[in-house]
Amino acid sequence: DAGVTQSPTHLIKTRGQQVTLRCSPKSGHDTVSWYQQALGQGPQFIFQYYEEEERQRGNFPDRFSGHQFPNYSSELNVNALLLGDSALYLCASSTLRMDTDPYEQYFGPGTRLTVT
């Protein structure tokens, strides 16, 4: 099991453009959370997806949207990119099954987004 995988590794976009980041959860996991980590900061929660629905959302504008597919993989979309969106975007997977620990989140390596 490769664990949580994310693509692409790096991305450079221009202000105003749109971007899509992808995440495949760890085998057996059904829940995906996205975090934004700006330079020198801790990760900030964007939203969480479970059963193809947005389950929780952090304090991020509507420009940030997501999707979860039937195979539990997920996408993060950001529209109308701003310079301030430059950050490392982390995906974390977990499971809400009753017999497991919902708090144990496994993180991917991240996608480094640079907006110029």
Partner 1 sequence: AQRVTQPEKLLSVFKGAPVELKCNYSYSGSPELFWYVQYSRQRLQLLLRHISRESIKGFTADLNKGETSFHLKKPFAQEEDSAMYYCALSPGGSEKLVFGKGTKLTVNP
Residues at the interface with partner 1 (CB under 8 A): 3-4, 31, 33, 35, 40-45, 48, 56, 58, 90, 92, 94, 96, 102-110
Q: How far is the CB of 56 from partner 1 (least distance, A)?
A: 5
Q: Which of 68, 63, 55 is nearest to 23 (CA)?
A: 68
Using the minimum distance from each CB to partner 1, give the nearer residue, 13 or 55. Answer: 55
Q: Which of 90, 89, 105 is nearest to 29 (CA)?
A: 105
Using the minimum distance from each CB to partner 1, give the nearer residue, 28 or 102. Answer: 102
Residues 85 and 113: beta-carbon distance below 8 Å: yes
Decide: helix, strand or coil at residue 109.
Answer: coil
Using the minimum distance from each CB to partner 1, give the nearer residue, 20 or 58. Answer: 58
Using the minimum distance from each CB to partner 1, give the nearer residue, 86 or 107. Answer: 107
Residues 108 and 9: beta-carbon distance below 8 Å: no
Q: How far is the CB of 85 from partner 1 (least distance, A)?
A: 18
Q: Which of 29, 11, 31, 25 is nearest to 89 (CA)?
A: 11
Q: How far is the CB of 116 from partner 1 (least distance, A)?
A: 25
Q: How far is the CB of 105 from partner 1 (least distance, A)?
A: 7
